[in-house]
């Protein structure tokens, strides 16, 4: 049970630090809490919740990665009620439908959300209680406003104050035992617009099953130090970078922000990070760039080649040869758990050459979320690893060739919130979760993801194309920072494979030693497309493409929000006389702006 994760930490690692962080990124002081503090605070919060709400209540949570966020999640999900974690980067008008659909009766949030929450309370009949997380960052002005609001609302609280005012329990803290481990523990809204996105219901049983499966697949040093980078509301970070770390008695260091990752790695000297490919690519580019500036790039590349060659012969001296590089990453970094998207082969080779294993994983919210991953025994490049211990994975076509990936295990969700039809469509009568992801097995039983059925392009000839395959080819070019491939239906009914590319201006500036012109960008992109097309069968060729200099709209795990991007593109074509030929090779920044389709008049 989830409560056992907390109590085990208390009994085995009571005085060990569980979380370390800075209140503000530039602070010199690092604040920490121990496993004993965590268990006591979870117990205190559960007791306080019991004075306000009945057990089983749904409680929404939004905020930056923080100790108080962790305490709240554990207090609610481990036995008191149902936690509803919300993406902190959602716009205010996207949060309101989540609060309404989940029927949350309490909302725990960072102080920065207070003004918005106060404004929408009247629209949310179920919401009766509000709890603010100060975290030491609240200004005096905001504190005064909240105190005034508290005088008019007896159900508005500050969590920091509540925990500091309650006495610590004597001896082992008492935690609530769930009535049934199959009861709802968390409701996670999947990507998409908050009004239409599905909400997966996870149970104590499904979450713990995934933690157990992860522990059966990997081993880490003791003590274990990790860096928390990805948002905790996301199931991947929540299970891998939070809950599983607790079961190993690890110390979680909350990072200071994306711009401080390099500094945090160097000072915290962590063994493990959980990341997405974009972060790995940034670390790789930073190391190579610094080596080039110091005139050491040739030496570094030679050292990597020697280290890799010896490693293949069974002589592992990588960390000794690459000691200087590793010191810049803290000196202890051994493993990176990576998910959300494929990792570039060049990046994988770099980390393996310097003695760091990237364990690519695969999962989905509906599976609590991790299904497979590279492990310390088998870690094949280009795959998302083997199924976790105790997780059944099958390919819908009988395991031969490509097909839909099916998952059966205790990790599978209970179902979708208030949507029995979608639940029945996702989980069949034999208990198989239909992921809508397409993949195949390697000879070593690792999984290769080849596409997603929902994004699959069906041509007028009936042939099928997975955009992820072509996007991976685009990402191999340094000029391409982001890529989105889709099928555009022309006025004649033909489906045209089209690519939107975000250009890496810095890369072009380095090569040209000046800002590139639009013609130069267009020509460079045309050369890349031509090279890719030469290696593709004719029906998969990119026939139209355009570019942008601005980042695409992304989720907090840095995945492109395909729906938002495609809506802007489709609306533009629908409201103008533009054709796919007219946009070919053009900069679209001034004419297609995702999220601002209302500016178009059809």
Q: Do 253-450 and 2-197 fall under one CATH topology? A: yes
Distances in Å between the Cα of 19 and the Cα atoms of 69, 112, 256, 274 are 12, 22, 13, 15
Per-residue pLDDT at 73: 98
SS3 content of the chain, % helix, strand, coil (to 5): 40, 20, 40
Q: What is the pLDDT of residues 405-453, one digit of tens each?
A: 999 999 999 999 999 999 999 999 999 999 989 899 999 999 998 887 7
Q: What is the pLDDT of residues 15-74, one digit of tens each?
A: 999 999 999 999 999 999 999 999 999 999 999 999 999 999 999 999 999 999 999 999
Q: What is the pLDDT of residues 259-287, one digit of tens each?
A: 999 999 999 999 999 998 889 988 998 89
What is the CATH code for 253-450? 3.40.50.12780
Distances in Å between the Cα of 544 and the Cα atoms of 523, 540, 563, 564 are 14, 12, 19, 20
Q: Is residue 602 predicted with pLDDT exceeding 60?
A: no
The mean pLDDT value of the chain amounts to: 91
Q: What is the pLDDT of residues 448-486, one digit of tens each?
A: 988 877 788 888 777 778 888 899 899 889 899 999 999
Could you tell me the pTM of the whole model?
A: 0.84
Q: What is the pLDDT of residues 188-213, one digit of tens each?
A: 998 654 456 899 999 999 999 999 99
- CATH class, range 2-197: alpha beta
Per-residue pLDDT at 196: 66
3-state secondary structure 100-121: HHHCCCEEEEEHHHHHHHHHHH
Q: What is the pLDDT of residues 282-320, one digit of tens each?
A: 899 889 989 999 999 999 999 999 999 999 999 999 999
Whether residue 322 contacts residue 353, with contact meaning beta carbons closer than 8 Å, is answered with: yes
Whether residue 60 contacts residue 104, with contact meaning beta carbons closer than 8 Å, is answered with: yes
Average pLDDT, integer, range 584-597: 76
Per-residue pLDDT at 126: 96
Q: What is the pLDDT of residues 490-548, one digit of tens each?
A: 877 788 999 999 999 888 888 888 999 989 999 999 999 999 999 988 889 999 999 99
User: Which of 278, 271, 207 shows the shortest CA–CA distance to 238?
Assistant: 207
Helix or strand holding residue 349 (H, E)? helix 345-353
Q: How far apart are CA 78 and CA 59, in angstroms?
A: 13
Average pLDDT, integer, range 358-380: 93
Q: Is residue 398 predicted with pLDDT exceeding 80?
A: no
Q: How far apart are CA 49 and CA 44, in angstroms?
A: 9
User: Which of 480, 485, 494, 479 shows the shortest CA–CA distance to 569?
Assistant: 485
Q: What is the pLDDT of residues 207-249, one digit of tens each?
A: 999 999 999 888 899 999 999 999 999 999 999 999 999 999 9
Average pLDDT, integer, range 110-135: 94
**Every domain of the chain and the residues it spans:** 2-197, 253-450, 457-599
φ/ψ of 166, rounded to 5, equals -85, 140
- State the alpha helices, DSSP H only, in 53-166: 67-75, 92-102, 114-120, 140-152, 159-165
The domain made up of 457-599 has a fold known as: GMP Synthetase; Chain A, domain 3 (3.30.300)
């Amino acid at each position: 049970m989830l409560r056992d994760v907390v109590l085990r930490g208390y009994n085995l690692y009571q005085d060990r630090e569980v979380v370390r962080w800075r209140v503000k990124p530039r602070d010199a002081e690092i604040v920490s809490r121990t496993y004993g503090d965590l268990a006591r605070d979870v117990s205190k919060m559960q007791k306080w919740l019991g004075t306000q709400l009945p057990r089983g209540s749904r409680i929404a949570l939004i905020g930056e990665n923080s100790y108080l966020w962790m305490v709240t999640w554990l207090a609610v999900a481990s036995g008191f009620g149902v936690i509803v974690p919300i993406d902190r980067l959602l716009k205010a008008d996207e949060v309101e439908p989540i609060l309404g659909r989940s029927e949350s009766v309490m909302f725990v949030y960072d102080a920065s959300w207070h003004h918005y929450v106060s404004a929408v309370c009247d629209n949310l009949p179920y919401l009766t209680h509000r709890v603010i997380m100060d975290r030491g960052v609240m200004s005096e002005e905001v504190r005064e406003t909240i105190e005034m609001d508290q005088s008019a609302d007896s159900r508005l609280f500050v969590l920091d104050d509540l925990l500091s005012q309650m006495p610590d329990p004597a001896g082992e803290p008492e935690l609530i035992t769930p009535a049934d481990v199959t009861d709802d523990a968390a409701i996670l809204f999947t990507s998409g617009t908050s009004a239409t996105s599905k909400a997966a219901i996870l149970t104590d049983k499904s979450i713990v099953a995934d933690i157990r499966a992860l522990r059966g697949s990997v081993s880490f040093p003791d003590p274990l130090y990790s860096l928390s980078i990805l948002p905790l509301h996301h199931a991947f970070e929540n299970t891998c970078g939070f809950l599983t770390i607790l079961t190993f008695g690890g110390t979680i260091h909350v990072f200071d922000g994306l711009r401080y990752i390099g500094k945090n790695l160097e000072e915290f000297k962590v063994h493990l990070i959980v990341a997405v490919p974009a972060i790995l690519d940034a670390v790789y580019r930073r190391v190579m760039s610094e080596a080039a500036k110091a005139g050491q790039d040739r030496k570094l590349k030679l050292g990597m080649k020697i280290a890799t060659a010896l490693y293949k012969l069974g002589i592992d001296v990588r960390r000794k040869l690459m000691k200087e590089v590793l010191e810049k990453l803290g000196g202890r970094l051994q493993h990176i758990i990576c998910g959300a998207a494929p990792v570039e082969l060049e990046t994988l080779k770099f980390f393996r050459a310097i003695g760091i294993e990237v364990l690519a994983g695969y999962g989905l919210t509906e599976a609590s979320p991790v299904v497979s991953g590279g492990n310390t025994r088998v870690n094949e490049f280009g795959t998302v690893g083997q199924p976790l211990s105790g997780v059944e994975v099958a390919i819908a076509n009988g395991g031969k060739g490509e097909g839909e990936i099916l998952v059966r295990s205790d990790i599978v969700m209970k179902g979708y919130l208030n949507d029995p039809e979608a639940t029945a469509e996702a989980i069949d009568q034999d208990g198989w979760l239909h992921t809508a992801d397409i993949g195949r097995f390697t000879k070593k039983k690792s999984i290769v993801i080849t596409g997603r059925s929902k994004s699959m392009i069906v041509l007028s000839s009936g042939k099928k194309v997975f955009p992820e395959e072509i996007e991976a080819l685009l990402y191999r070019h340094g000029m391409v920072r982001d890529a989105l491939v889709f099928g555009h239906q022309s006025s004649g009914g033909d489906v045209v494979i089209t690519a939107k590319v975000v250009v890496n201006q810095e890369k072009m500036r380095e090569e040209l030693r000046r800002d590139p012109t639009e013609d130069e960008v267009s020509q460079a992109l045309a050369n890349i497309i031509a090279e890719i097309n030469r290696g593709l069968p004719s029906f998969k060729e990119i026939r139209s493409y355009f570019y942008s200099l601005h980042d695409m709209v992304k989720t907090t795990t840095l995945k492109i929000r395909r729906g938002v991007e495609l809506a802007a593109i489709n609306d533009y074509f629908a409201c103008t006389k533009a054709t796919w030929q007219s946009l070919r090779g053009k900069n679209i920044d001034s004419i297609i702006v995702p999220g601002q389709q209302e500016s178009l008049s059809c």
